[in-house]
Amino acid sequence: MPLSSSYEGQECNVAATLEVVGERWSLLIVRSVMLGAHRFEDLRARLGIATNVLQTRLTSLVEAEVLERLPYQERPPRFEYRLTEKGLALWPTIAALSRWGDTYVNTIPPLIFRHRECGGEVDDHRICARCGERLSADGVFAVAGPGASENHPMRRSGPRDLGS
Amino acid sequence: MPLSSSYEGQECNVAATLEVVGERWSLLIVRSVMLGAHRFEDLRARLGIATNVLQTRLTSLVEAEVLERLPYQERPPRFEYRLTEKGLALWPTIAALSRWGDTYVNTIPPLIFRHRECGGEVDDHRICARCGERLSADGVFAVAGPGASENHPMRRSGPRDLGS
């Protein structure tokens, strides 16, 4: 559903951002690609999403330059999805959603972000709790937290640099 | 559409948070209440949203304890919507969405967050760029930015403490 053309709708960058990634699946796709799922079948399995819905969302995220579709095999041709810089810049939004859930929904965190350089935990302001560095996505890795079961994708994959 | 019951769906706090506020209107309602719109008619006018959709979303946000519905008049009885602590804790998500829009969508910011105490601008890490204090919503006010037209609600209302 397109947003209204009211002044607030047009001039608000919360609304403008939600125009690009506000559909719930879009942010979950961005999250999964950020955590290392790059191929259609892997995304479909992780998200439990219908094939046609996933294809539509991926196409619109590529059009919005949040994702890139890149070849990883020539014969037969196969493609995977990678975050652009613009897509990786959604990490603060993903981190804020995740932190709110840690506080108010599932209070044993299933996912933890850590500073690549020193291993310190990323705090609520996206600062390393150990060394104090201000972090962006390219300085961070994700790892399963104490709330992740044995079957959680991050427990199976092990720690992952964001966007890798 | 409910999310799948896959492990990742259940154990991810991005997904869990989007279960509560992932529907686009919900986050825009939270944003508008955060910026000072508390009454049904004001929300309806600002959002340009159908009455029944707004009512449904407000009810579910009250059920999720993101909003409270409080009386502001006895005869006839009238109610307004206020953010709970849990709702105000969505500010980091709103701030991250807004910042991403400032960077990639409308690069002349329509909305700026400032530190109540010293007036310094809130940076990308929700830290005061002037005095260095780490900020939460209750230390911040919003003001129309250079990208806001004369008709932007924040220009009409003037600076607003978040959640006030």
A161 to chain B nearest CA, in Å?
A: 17
- CA dist A50 and B82 (Å) reads 37
Q: What CATH number corresponds to the domain at position B43? A: 1.10.10.10
Measured torsion, CA atoms of residues B163, B2, A90, B100, in degrees rounded to the nearest 10: -40
Question: How far, in Å, are A58, A132, B21, B76 from residue A97 at the CA level?
Answer: 21, 22, 9, 39
Higher pLDDT, B157 or B10: B157
**B21 and B78 together in one domain:** yes
Q: Is residue B104 part of a domain?
A: yes
Mean of the pLDDT values across residues B130-141? 97
Contact check, Cβ <8 Å, B134/A153: no
Q: What is the pLDDT of residue A119?
A: 97
E strands along chain B, which residues?
Answer: 67-73, 78-83, 111-115, 140-144, 160-161
Terminal CA-CA length for chain B: 33
The mean of the pLDDT values for chain B is 92
The mean of the pLDDT values for chain A is 92
Interface pTM, i.e. ipTM:
0.93
Confidence tier at B10 by pLDDT (50, 70, 90): low
**B98 and B143 together in one domain:** yes
Give the domain extent around A105. 90-161
- CA dist A27 and B93 (Å) reads 12
* Domain count across chain A: 2
**Is A8 near chain B, with CB under 8 Å?**
yes
User: Between A and B, how many residue pairs show a Cβ–Cβ distance under 8 A?
Assistant: 187
Q: Is residue B76 part of a domain?
A: yes
Q: Is residue B28 part of a domain?
A: yes
Residue of A13, A53, A86 to mutate for B, most B C-beta atoms under 10 A? A13
Q: Is residue B124 part of a domain?
A: yes
Q: Given a cut of 70, is residue A66 above it in pLDDT?
A: yes
A76 upstream amide cis, omega within 30 of 0:
yes
Q: What is the pLDDT of residue B2?
A: 46
- CA dist A159 and B14 (Å) reads 18
